[in-house]
Structure 1
Amino acid sequence: MTEVTFHFNVPEKTAYACRLLRKAWAARAPVGVLGDAAALRALDEALWTFSSQAFIPHCGVSAPAHVLAATPIVLATDAALFTRSQVLLNLGQPAPEGFERFARLIEIVSAQPQDRAGARQRWNHYKKHGLQPQAHDAAARKD
């Protein structure tokens, strides 16, 4: 059964996604990142410059097969394109089709009303599929 976690009240989704992906890469968990083209472009750029200490390896789903096989973090606009990811990171609005095949689904939600409204719909969607989503308040995080 898929473990679903909503990270809400995220002040800046791209930077937050970079931090989560750094943790996933350190744990060697293959991650598929789902979002619209603009969000994925922003994330791609941010991952190249996020840390001066370490590179976070990533590529788009259209990369050559040998690159995809060697890259733990893959970016795509369609969840059906992820072939080996255990974790799905959703930066978009709709509930991803086929989310049940992932061990873990992470939803990143800003404090913006439109983003929160979409998150409520996805939360209810997952509950209707028998899942018990968990909530993580990013605003309560202490660095």
Structure 2
Amino acid sequence: MTEIAFHFNIPDRIAYLSRLLRKAVGRSDSIVVVAEAAALDKLDRKLWELSATDFIGHWREGQDAGTVTEAMQERARVWLTEDVGSCPRHDVLVSLMPQVPAGFEQFARLIEVVSLDEADRAQARERWRYYTSRGYQIQRHDVQVKG
């Protein structure tokens, strides 16, 4: 069964996610980030702005299709996508989506990243209820408590 964690009270989801991805890649996890196009654009830019030593090799689905080979796509440790269904096997799914991501069950872990925005928090509560009603145990990570 997929392990689910909610990271909430995140002041800047894109900055937080870039740190989270660095840690996960350091543990050799392969990650899919599912989000709406605008959030993926911001994250893609943020990942390209990292220093050479912090750089995270990633693939933005739908971009560079003419220059990136299938083998290069498969070697990317981080995939950025709006649709999980087209992704190859990965360890971790990180969701910035307002709804439960379709296909989350195929991943060993799901991380939901929730901002301070009240609408985002309300949608996260709905997702939390969805997961618990189906028997998933959820880990809570309150970023504000940690400092």
Could you say which TM-score interval applies, normalised by the shorter chain?
over 0.9
- Code of the residue aligned with 1:119 in structure 2: it is A
Q: Structure 1 unaligned segments of length 5 or more: list them.
A: none
Counterpart check, 1:98 vs 2:115: no
Alignment match of 2:85 (pick from 80, 84, 102): 80
SS at match of 1:92: coil
Q: Structure 2 unaligned segments of length 5 or more: list them.
A: none
SS at match of 1:88: strand
Matched length: 142
| Cα contact 2:91–2:108 (8 A) shared by 1 | yes
Instruction: Tell me what 1:19 maps to.
Output: 19
Instruction: Tell me what 1:141 maps to.
Output: 146
Q: Deviations over 1:34-77 (max 9, x none)?
A: 00000001000001113453211111133531221111000000
Question: TM-score scaled to structure 2, two decimals?
Answer: 0.92
SS at match of 1:29: coil
Say what the alpha-carbon RMSD is for the aligned residues: 1.2
| Cα contact 1:22–1:56 (8 A) shared by 2 | yes
| Cα contact 2:74–2:88 (8 A) shared by 1 | no
Counterpart check, 1:107 vs 2:112: yes
Instruction: Tell me what 1:50 maps to.
Output: 50
CA distance in 2, matches of 1:125, 1:45: 32
- Code of the residue aligned with 1:50 in structure 2: it is L
- Code of the residue aligned with 1:11 in structure 2: it is P
Instruction: Tell me what 1:120 maps to.
Output: 125
Question: TM-score scaled to structure 1, two decimals?
Answer: 0.94
% same residue: 43
More divergent stretch after superposition (104-113 vs 51-60): 51-60
Q: C-alpha displacement at 1:130, in angstroms?
A: 1.1
CA distance in 1, matches of 2:136, 2:57: 31
| Cα contact 1:79–1:96 (8 A) shared by 2 | yes
Instruction: Tell me what 2:137 maps to.
Output: 132
Counterpart check, 1:33 vs 2:33: yes
CA distance in 2, matches of 1:97, 1:23: 25
